[in-house]
Structure 1
Amino acid sequence: MTDADLTTGERIRALRESRGMSRPVLAQMCGRGPDWLKKIESGERELDSHTLLLQLAAALQVADLSIITGTDSPAATAAAAPLGRLAHPGMPDIWAAVMTRSLTPAAAGPADPVALQGRVDQTWRLWHTSARNRTEVGALLPGLIRDGEHAVRTLDGEQRRLAQVALSDIYRLTGQATAYVAPAELAWVVADRALTAAQAADQPAAIAAASWNLGNILRETSYPGEALRVVEEASALIRPHLDGAPEDWRGIYGALQLHAAVTAAREGREGDAWRYWEKGDQVAKNLPAAYVHPSTVFGRANVDFHAVSVATDLRKSQKAIGLADDIDPDAMPSVERRARLWVEVARGHLQRGDRTAALHVMQMAHRIGAETVRFTPSARTVAADLWRSAPRALRPEAAALAVNVGIATA
């Protein structure tokens, strides 16, 4: 049998199995039960919902819908799904900086790891405060990558260790700024280099932060079990050092707990999700009220934001909306994180069937962080759903949002 002979259901099953995903996991990611997916895969039920097709494409990391549908489904189109890896003009330069790393030190001046770390910290602040964060941070990353590599190669002793910490931060930031736009091979290289540099520095907080970053990539590429293993190991590594440790060490420990909470929620593990969230909540209670981790933005506001994410991923839409109602979004200094909060709220409204509210909230998210919405698959999924199913009176607004997000409406 050739690929052309496969039905939509057979294609979905083949894609699912090739990614090591169980039927219950994939079904849950689409908000359905395993029996529904079993019927789709066996051909007993037809896949005639374009929204569900988009959700399957997102979960399976497929950018071209025809890979799933072929020509045998009424929902089939040859159009690209508004999901997966997206184009960004900054990627070629970042790719060159990462993938053409020189094996010998460049003939450059002496490196100052303290100044390098200061530049990295400033770039993290830019990531969290700019509505065009991918573009503006992406323009700075090639230089940071090359300078970080130069520092590690030319310094020794304590200076080299400081440079390793800075380089790990640079690669973590690269992972954040290129999420969903970087080729898969670059995403894995960046994650590995961040962890390798942190381990070379032998600094628990840097290792934990790099593990948080690796966990993000594992979760987004459908390896939730591995993501949880990584963040739990990192938590165990840094936990003995927390008494009397700097606030940022406790901040990254808290961020690991929130990462685990969302990962468990996406797997439908409600008890585990809230248990991890409560651990993060306790960390925030033991930090100053105004504390915000410089890269993960862990703090009181982010713990509250994650409660909305957990409830939404568990499909507890009423709870998610109720939690969001009690949040002061301005308590979060990160523009990027505020935009993602409103995307989560929009997902909650869609789960309840309230497309009018979902559209209003998505418009807010786009005004706050245009590039965050444009380059986040879950946001693009919501925008695509609204474009196809918004109330008649709101279709022009839904179409305008789709255009702004980069989804074709022709």
Structure 2
Amino acid sequence: MTIGERIRLLRESKGMSRPVLAGMCGRGPDWLKKIENGDRPLSSHTLLVQLASALQIDDLSVITGPAEAAQPVSTGRMSYPAVPDIWSAVMERNLPGHRIAVSVDVALLAGRVDQSWRLWHKSGHNRTEVGSLLPELIRSAEEAARSAEGSQRRTALVALSDAYRLVGQATAYVAPAELAWMVADRAMDAAREADDPAAMACAAWNLGNIMRETAYPQEALRIVEGAARELRPHLDNAPDDWRGIYGALHLHAAVTAAREGAAGNAWRYWDTANEVAKSLPSGYVHPSTVFGRVNVDFHAVSVATDLCTSAKALSLADDLDPDVMPSTERRSRLWVEVARGHLQRGDRTAALHVLDKAHKISPETVAFTPSARVAAAELWRKAGRSMRADATRLAEAIGVAPAA
């Protein structure tokens, strides 16, 4: 196999799209396509190391071939120490004899899952803090789903589904593809077994995220559209959270369509989410998707940015008060979108300023979000002399430039 063929095989085995992997190296998808197809040589040792790191390969000879001596590679800032323990907890369900010895209070378990979701949105180091909780949370939720009976079992199954959805969020972009698909499938199975329409819609929202980020946008749209159709008949006199996830499904569809360049569909989905937000009480926020008035407005910036209408994106951002968003992660992601908008206009000074702001709000959100890494790498490569030191410092902190 050629180097390009090995890279493509490794990328596809991890469920990574070409734009995501290229972006982690500060390059565009066309660059990676030419390498994978053998139309462009890859002789730069630095780029080889960046690709290996992004692919979480700790030996460069896996890419360069067996004729080369083994060359250790640091997987850098994209490594996620919690993944092995999470993987072990996920896999234990398939192994005999792995059950926790104590009974699980179902109500307490549901509260712990809810608290973990709140921590995910509140913490600037959410992957580290939530990741440390997930292994034990998975084990407890699995045990509760096995042992509970009657209505308690239904509650336990919903908690199990919510826990697996959180695993999907916390391990996005760093977990092996097989883990991402497995936890999405388990979240959906638990929700279906609970026969809870809102839980099934939440699981579909989670599955749609994974499908979109692994280069299956049309399938992602079908998943969230189907979930919205299934939930719609239940919305009359339904709890607010049911309407909240219905709106979140449409926001998901809006971003997915925007990334495909389908402006009409993107804004149509957004309009539906906007109407849902208007129907909910003032200040309402969905507990896991943070759907609500503020998040709808934040997503308008994302849609405009993904459609490369930077003037509209920046104008929309100017009218927002980010501090009213209760989710630290979403506030950070808003500033990432604003940075992308400035880059689309060629204003690197403004882009660097707001991307640094995003990083200060939530370092891990920026470090593990591909679009943020792409922006930081571009600023690092193209910054003028006056911005070079600041751009390098930010790129090093995010992990897209080698530390000095």
TM interval, short-chain normalised: 0.7 to 0.9
Aligned to 2:188: 195
Aligned to 1:37: none
1:1-400 to 2 correspondences below 5 Å: 3=2, 51-53=26-28, 72=41, 77-81=47-51, 83=54, 86-101=78-93, 102-103=95-96, 106=99, 108-400=101-393
CA distance in 2, matches of 1:339, 1:189: 28
Task: Judge conservation of contact 2:314–2:341 (CA < 8 Å) in 1.
Answer: yes
Deviations 1:117-141 (A, max 9, x none): 1000011110001111000000000
For the aligned residues, what is the CA RMSD?
Answer: 3.0
Measure how far apart 1:273 and its partner are: 0.2
Q: What amino acid is aligned across from residue 226 of structure 1 in structure 2?
A: E
Task: Judge conservation of contact 1:83–1:377 (CA < 8 Å) in 2.
Answer: no
* TM-score normalised by L of structure 1: 0.85
CA distance in 2, matches of 1:261, 1:210: 18
Identity of aligned residues (%): 62
Q: What secondary structure is seen at the aligned counterpart in 2 of 1:344?
A: helix
Q: What amino acid is aligned across from residue 250 of structure 1 in structure 2?
A: R
Q: What secondary structure is seen at the aligned counterpart in 2 of 1:80?
A: helix
Deviations 1:12-67 (A, max 9, x none): 9999999999xxx989x999xxxxxxxxxxxxxxxxxx85446765xx8xxxx975
Q: What amino acid is aligned across from residue 261 of structure 1 in structure 2?
A: A
Q: What amino acid is aligned across from residue 303 of structure 1 in structure 2?
A: V
Aligned to 2:73: none
CA distance in 2, matches of 1:250, 1:230: 17
CA distance in 2, matches of 1:16, 1:129: 32
Task: Judge conservation of contact 1:251–1:283 (CA < 8 Å) in 2.
Answer: yes
What are structure 1's unaligned runs of at least 5 residues? Answer: 32-49
Higher relative contact order (CA 8 A, sep 6+): 2
Describe the shift of the 1:55–1:166 C-alpha distance in structure 2 as closer, same or farther (beyond 3 A). Answer: farther
Deviations 1:275-310 (A, max 9, x none): 000000000000012000010000011000100000
Aligned to 1:45: none
Deviations 1:73-116 (A, max 9, x none): 68883231475663111111111111222445725233221111
Q: What amino acid is aligned across from residue 234 of structure 1 in structure 2?
A: A
CA distance in 2, matches of 1:370, 1:351: 23
CA distance in 1, matches of 2:165, 2:261: 28
CA distance in 2, matches of 1:254, 1:134: 25
Describe the shift of the 1:99–1:327 C-alpha distance in structure 2 as closer, same or farther (beyond 3 A). Answer: same
Task: Judge conservation of contact 1:317–1:352 (CA < 8 Å) in 2.
Answer: yes
Task: Judge conservation of contact 2:157–2:194 (CA < 8 Å) in 1.
Answer: yes
* TM-score normalised by L of structure 2: 0.86
Q: What secondary structure is seen at the aligned counterpart in 2 of 1:347?
A: helix
CA distance in 1, matches of 2:176, 2:10: 19
Describe the shift of the 1:155–1:18 C-alpha distance in structure 2 as closer, same or farther (beyond 3 A). Answer: closer
Q: What secondary structure is seen at the aligned counterpart in 1 of 2:351?
A: helix
CA distance in 1, matches of 2:8, 2:104: 52
CA distance in 2, matches of 1:68, 1:360: 37
Task: Judge conservation of contact 1:339–1:369 (CA < 8 Å) in 2.
Answer: yes
Q: What amino acid is aligned across from residue 399 of structure 1 in structure 2?
A: T
Q: What secondary structure is seen at the aligned counterpart in 2 of 1:285?
A: helix
CA distance in 2, matches of 1:116, 1:55: 47
Task: Judge conservation of contact 2:8–2:36 (CA < 8 Å) in 1.
Answer: no
Describe the shift of the 1:16–1:311 C-alpha distance in structure 2 as closer, same or farther (beyond 3 A). Answer: farther
Q: For this pair of structures, how many residues does the alignment match?
A: 377
Describe the shift of the 1:246–1:98 C-alpha distance in structure 2 as closer, same or farther (beyond 3 A). Answer: same
Q: What amino acid is aligned across from residue 227 of structure 2 in structure 1?
A: A
Deviations 1:198-248 (A, max 9, x none): 000000000000000000000000000100000011001111011111110
Q: What amino acid is aligned across from residue 128 of structure 2 in structure 1?
A: T
Describe the shift of the 1:16–1:154 C-alpha distance in structure 2 as closer, same or farther (beyond 3 A). Answer: closer
Task: Judge conservation of contact 1:268–1:314 (CA < 8 Å) in 2.
Answer: yes
CA distance in 1, matches of 2:44, 2:331: 34
